[in-house]
Structure 1
Amino acid sequence: MTACATASAEAPRITAGPKIAALSCGKPVYLVVLLHAEGSCGQEVIDLALNWAPELPKADFLAAEAPFAGAAGARWFPGEGFSPDTISAGLTASAPLLDAFLDEMLAARRLPGDHLALVGFSQGAMLALDVGLRRAVPPAVIIAFGGALPEARDVGAPRTQPPVVFIHGENDAVVPVADMIATRDRLKALGLPAKSMRRPSLGHGVDDDGIIAAGSVLTASLVKPKAAGEHDDHHHDDHDHDH
């Protein structure tokens, strides 16, 4: 595996990392942006897209690089730790950076905002949720691996209602599954189609079943959007799935 580069602390900004270009001919029709975990980098998540690209041949997959340097590597937030205050302050610092980055990446491909999907891991999942729920044009879907939003982080009354799917380890000791459930239920109370999949015996990480489920969600959200009033597919419902 390629080593991760250390983020620069001089002028924090989100940069484009490794990508997998659309497998079909012509310009991409969709953009899937992956936000890595803290201490990680784009190179460590872009390979996951190899599992999804064959079903989404018209999608560009792009791994973004976090803007801050931490003791353990690149971070999306300037502060260390996972306290609610640190997370809220980190989101305040990074959300405008990601929002501008997404606008730039979409404009470069001449794509509308609803042809975007966000897939985040840990801190990257928190940022994907916070930004994705506030964008003027909602992404097609937000997938959060091992992420949640602190209760104090007010998402307000969202102008848009993008579907949100949480994939979370039951044994996550960094972001407890109870925090994910609380976030999911808070979003549902605001009218968002938020669903979750819990992974038994999994800690703060990603497993094969979660990767497969995420691919199914991406394909259904980007390639086969549901008609109004159509039922959700059998992979997710209003309750957790423990596959």
Structure 2
Amino acid sequence: MLDGPRLAPLSGGKPNKLVVLLHGVGADGQDLIDIGAHWAPLFPDAYFVAPNAPDPCDWGVGHQWFRLAVRDAHEYWLGASAAAPKLDEFLDAELERLGLTDADLALVGFSQGTMMALQVGPRRPREMAGIVAYSGRIAGVERLKAETRSRPPVLLVHGALDEVIPVAALQETEKALRDAGFAVASIERPGLGHGIDEAGLAAGAAFLKRIFATADV
């Protein structure tokens, strides 16, 4: 079972929302849990967790959701689909442990973590609250429409100068999601490389506020 750093609700009470932060290749949960700490005052009843990916990174540092050797669409699909059951198992266990449902769940991914969020989210039978996808792309674009089981709203944020995953992936991913019937918002951050800036964090927080408020109705 996956595990990683966690932040209990600042309110000290029972959590009413779960935010799962999915890191990129060569990193670990500690790299993203600070986002939870940044957002926690805005969501005092939310529980944040940043699981470490299941495999040691081939680069010798951190973890990876799947191997990146040739970096092509087929490799992304094979890797993301193979790792998905482990993430699904973790999400199911966390929701059960906290007494929450998919409607209370948001996934926040960065880079390879975004690939995992966009792999798992649409294929879960019950719709989660939403997905925040930073600096990533979708794997298996051509398979998405046929395999979609639920359509959570998605926010895509990408740096215009991303040197790892070019910003063209933003348009490709947005089109694939829209064609499959998803509600999508996208933000291209000028001057930003492969990372998350303050404007991106603020946009993510605003998106979570909106989707969580909707889930409470």
- TM-score (norm: length of structure 1): 0.83
Q: Which ranges of structure 2 fall in alignment gaps of 5 or more residues?
A: none
Displacement of 1:222 after TM fit?
A: 1.1
Alignment deviations for residues 109-149 of structure 1 (CA, whole Å, 9 cap, x no partner)? 01011100000000000000110011011110101001111
Q: Identify the match of residue 17 of structure 2 among 30, 45, 62.
A: 30
Instruction: Give me the whole-angstrom Cα distance separating, in 2, the residues matched to 1:183 and 1:172.
Output: 15
Q: Identify the match of residue 59 of structure 1 among 36, 42, 46.
A: 46
Q: Identify the match of residue 184 of structure 1 among 174, 177, 193.
A: 174
The 5-angstrom pairing of residues 163-202 of structure 1 reads 163-202=153-192
Alignment deviations for residues 128-182 of structure 1 (CA, whole Å, 9 cap, x no partner)? 0110011011110101001111455511342321001101001112211112211
Determine the structure 1 residue equivalent to 2:135: 146
- Structure 1 or 2: larger helix share? 2
Q: CA RMSD in A?
A: 1.7
The DSSP-based 3-state class of the residue aligned with 2:144 is coil
For 1:55, give the aligned amino acid: L
Deviates more, 1:155-164 or 1:53-62: 155-164
Determine the structure 1 residue equivalent to 2:96: 107
For 1:49, give the aligned amino acid: G
Instruction: Give me the whole-angstrom Cα distance separating, in 2, the residues matched to 1:200 and 1:175.
Output: 15
Q: Is the 8 A contact 2:23 2:31 kept in 1?
A: yes
Identity of aligned residues (%): 41
> Which structure would you say has the larger Rg?
1
Q: Which ranges of structure 1 fall in alignment gaps of 5 or more residues?
A: 1-12, 228-243
Q: Is the 8 A contact 1:70 1:80 kept in 2?
A: no
Instruction: Give me the whole-angstrom Cα distance separating, in 1, the residues matched to 2:179 and 2:138.
Output: 14
The DSSP-based 3-state class of the residue aligned with 2:133 is strand
Determine the structure 2 residue equivalent to 1:129: 118
For 1:136, give the aligned amino acid: P
Runs of 4+ in 1 over 6 A off after TM superposition: none
